[in-house]
Structure 1
Amino acid sequence: MLGFTLTLRQVVFGLLLVFCLTPWASPPLALALGLALAQTVGNPFVARTKVVTSKLLQFSVIGLGFGMNAHAAVRAGQEGLLFTIVSIAGTLLLGYLVGRWLGLERRVVHLISCGTAICGGSAIAAVGPVLGAKDEEMSVALGTVFVLNALALFAFPPIGHALHLSQHQFGLWCAIAIHDTSSVVGAAAAYGNEALEIATTVKLARALWIIPVALGTALVFKQKGVKITIPYFILGFVLAMLVNTYVPAAKPLGPLLVSLAKTGLTATLFFIGAGLSNSVLRIVGLKPYVLGIVLWLSIASASLYVIEHLA
């Protein structure tokens, strides 16, 4: 085609990606299509999509900031602060206890616990080098969190509707109980604009806890001279939100940038699903899944109870 040789896998990948860029595609559908691709013909661009996914997610999150009000975001962040502190500390402690009971390697336990407690793959990627984790330990932790994260994107919106959660309640619950920022934003966007605003703000505020948790990890595991990855894209989100709130001339561009950001997020979830191949699922093993499920159900049920009764 036009002088290029294309394989069937590449053609299918391209067609699905193009569809995910259209208004007919939703975040859950994009993730499902990516998963279907990974489990059938496979992803022909695994290495490239891994690189693109992280950057695309960051730019999409920044773009969402152009549709948010700084005053509302501050209120949401303040409300989620206590939930964040208690849930992170509780998840790390529970992870340590359950991990010892299962007989899992200590580094794997800490990585899965951090991924569940803070922000999924981003937290694992930041804490792993501080921990001195091996490649196979990183793969196990990332595989566990990504699989459960994918399930959360499908499960949470129907649960929220069944329980008649308000937009406010659902946004807060998503930010606390879903692992990765991509699925938090995807699930909240499917629920409504208010849920999206609250979920994104609280989740990004939660992501900043990567820094103190990474420092604590270096102390507990007695690691010296380590480099901690700081999620600078959160500053871009805050800046975009401030521009949208205080620069009237920028407001006409807001809807366009938010629309592009949502499209970028949909493509991101397609890439994430396309990366969950059979080999990724097999490398994890049973015990890490047990740990991940116990932590996920614990934080999801406890936070839901508190939100329904207090928020």
Structure 2
Amino acid sequence: MLLDPAAVRSATPGVTVALGVGVIATLVGTVVPVVGGPVPAVVIGALVGWLARRRRSVAGGAGDLGTLQPGVKFASSRVLQAAVVLLGAQLSIGEVLRIGGETLPVMLTTLVVCLAAAWGIGRLLRVSGALRTLIGVGTGICGASAIAAVTPVIGAVSADVAYAMSTIFLCNIAAVFVFPLLGHALGLGQHAFGVFAGTAVNDTSSVVATATVYGRQATDTAVVVKLVRTLMIIPIVVGLAGLEARRTARDQATADDGAVRAGGVRVLRLVPWFLIGFLVVVLLRTVGVLPAATAPAFATAATFLITVALAAIGVSTDFGALRRAGFRPMLLGVALWVLVAATSLGAQAAFGLL
């Protein structure tokens, strides 16, 4: 646990590096506001991670992050999740319901298109069933979280998980750089870009980073859209559990029982704690416990935490693993990423949100 002294000592080196990179990136963003802090954090972090791996490899080590790994893992996940919770101070329940409700058709459209394309394109590329499922849910729902939730249900092997994670991560990093440029080129407003980022980018960290580069209103919208989209994990995992049970069970009765065990028991665990925390903070803002005047301070704190988390994500980038992921899974991931982005923009236009 985090409060365990041994765990704190283990995490300190990596967290310290992430904080240092986060501070430097924030200063860069202050000097060059158009760039912001998140993008430099990823770039500087990736350079630091590459140097750390190279140093350990030259010294005869395993070529990994060594003592930095626990803290980097903590900063890239828990710190980012804490930032999402803080972002709730800028929204009321009415705004959350309004944004979530009006963008639900776009979210469902992109999800259906992504899962169908993962099956079809994956088969054409001869990507294994488990791997194309992992890449499909990772792209369509919420990146690493969806992959982690689906893995035990479909019995995916560790190699497939590593391939899927590497593919999704590459698309996430590309989105942080490409999507804001695309948004400006298309003349997207803050709200439209927030919906675009929330539906077309994979992991929460990359959604927030991409939207933060574009603007505060875009970030607020993107966070709500992404968190509503994250809830799609629940029906997808339950559905996959049922399919898997029917595929492997000896008879229909066993299949039904297996579906309940594989799906139902995990349903509550599939709701991320930071989603609950985000909604609690939104409630506190709505009832006035958190005054509207505090929103800028929370936004500033959240942006810095996002920058630190992205610094850690940059440090954790393993370019060797990306190379080992292979051509076909990577091609599938990129194809789905492009397709989902195009579908998001098309669906917004069709539903009158652009």
TM-score norm. by structure 2 comes to: 0.80
Aligned counterparts of 1:249 and 1:120: Cα–Cα separation in 2: 31
SS for the counterpart of 1:293 is helix
Tell me which residue corresponds to 2:143.
Answer: 120
Q: Aligned letter for 1:30? A: A
Larger radius of gyration: 2
After TM superposition, give the deviation of residue 119 of structure 1 in Å: 0.9
AA aligned opposite 1:275: S
CA RMSD of aligned residues (A): 2.2
1:16 matches 2:21: yes
Among 131, 139, 145, the residue aligned to 1:108:
131
| 8 Å contact from structure 2 (residues 15, 75) kept in 1 | no
**Post-superposition offset of 1:249:** 5.2
Report the Cα distance in structure 2 between the residues aligned to 1:67 and 1:304, rounded to whole angstroms. 26
Distance change in 2, residues 1:17/1:99 (3 Å):
same
Matched-pair contact (CA < 8 Å) for 1:111–1:127: yes
CA distance in 1, matches of 2:327, 2:37: 31
Gap change, CA 1:14 and 1:173, over 3 Å in 2: closer
Normalising by structure 1, report the TM-score: 0.90
User: Residue in 2 aligned with 1:56?
Assistant: 79
Quote how far apart the aligned CAs of 1:270 are.
0.9
Equivalenced residue count is 303
- Flag the 1:31–1:101 CA change in 2: closer, same or farther, 3 A: same
1:4 counterpart residue number? none
What is the aligned partner in structure 2 of residue 152 from structure 1?
A: 175
Q: Which runs of 5+ in 2 are unaligned?
A: 1-13, 31-35, 54-64, 249-257
Deviations along 1:191-212, one digit per CA (max 9) or x if unpaired, are 1121111111011000011111
**Is 2:320 aligned against 1:279?**
yes
Please give the alpha-carbon distance, in whole angstroms, between the structure 2 residues aligned to 1:308 and 1:157.
18
Matched AA of 2:40: L
Per-residue CA deviation, residues 224-251 of structure 1 (Å, 9 max, x unaligned), is: 3335333132111011112112215544
Q: CA deviation at 1:55?
A: 1.2
- Aligned-pair distance for 1:76? 0.8
Of 280-289 and 50-59, deviating more is 50-59
Alignment of 1:156-175 (within 5 A): 156-175=179-198
Q: Does structure 2 retain, via aligned residues, the 8 Å contact 1:38–1:278?
A: no
Counterpart code for 1:289: M
Distance, in Å, in 2 between the alignment partners of 1:124 and 1:74 is 27
Mapped partners of 2:23, 2:107: distance in 1: 37
Look up the match of 1:201.
224
Partner of 1:236: 277
Task: Give 2:47's match in structure 1, choosing from 24, 33, 36.
Answer: 36
d(CA) in 2 for partners of 1:15 and 1:266? 11
Contact residue 117 and residue 336 of structure 2 kept, 8 A? yes
Letter in 2 for 1:276: T
Aligned pairs for 1:289-304 (under 5 A) are 289-304=330-345
Code of the aligned partner of 1:235: I
Question: How far has the Cα of 1:139 moved from its partner?
Answer: 0.8
Q: 1:179 aligns with which of 202, 207, 216?
A: 202
* Structure 2 counterpart SS, 1:133: coil
Does the Cα contact within 8 Å between 1:38 and 1:275 map onto a contact in 2?
yes
1:254 to 1:123, Cα distance in 2 relative to 1, 3 A: same
Aligned to 2:60: none
User: Which of 1 and 2 has higher RCO (CA within 8 Å, sep 6+)?
Assistant: 1
- The structure-2 alpha-carbon separation of the partners of 1:253 and 1:115, relative to structure 1 and needing over 3 Å to count, comes to same
Whole-angstrom CA distance in 2 between matches of 1:18 and 1:11? 11
Please state how far the C-alpha of 1:165 moved relative to its aligned partner. Answer: 0.6
Task: Specify whether residues 97 and 55 from structure 1 end up closer, same or farther in structure 2 by C-alpha distance, changes over 3 A only.
Answer: same
Moved more, 229-238 or 55-64: 229-238
State the alpha-carbon separation in 2 of the partners of residues 14 and 245 from structure 1.
32
Given that 2:109 and 2:343 are in contact with CA atoms closer than 8 Å, whether structure 1 keeps it comes out as no
Q: Which moved more, 1:10-19 or 1:54-63?
A: 10-19
With over 3 angstroms needed to count, the CA separation of the structure-2 counterparts of 1:249 and 1:298, relative to structure 1, is: closer
Unaligned runs of 5+ residues in structure 1 are 1-8
Matched, 1:217 2:228: no
| Pairing 1:68-87 to 2, within 5 Å after superposition | 68-87=91-110
Match for 1:254: what amino acid? A
In the alignment, what sits opposite 1:92?
115
Aligned residue type for 1:81:
L
| Inter-partner Cα distance in structure 2 for 1:140 and 1:117 | 16
| Counterpart Cα distance in 2 of 1:99 and 1:32 | 31
8 A Cα contact 2:86 2:302, kept in partner: yes
Same amino acid, percent of matched pairs: 33
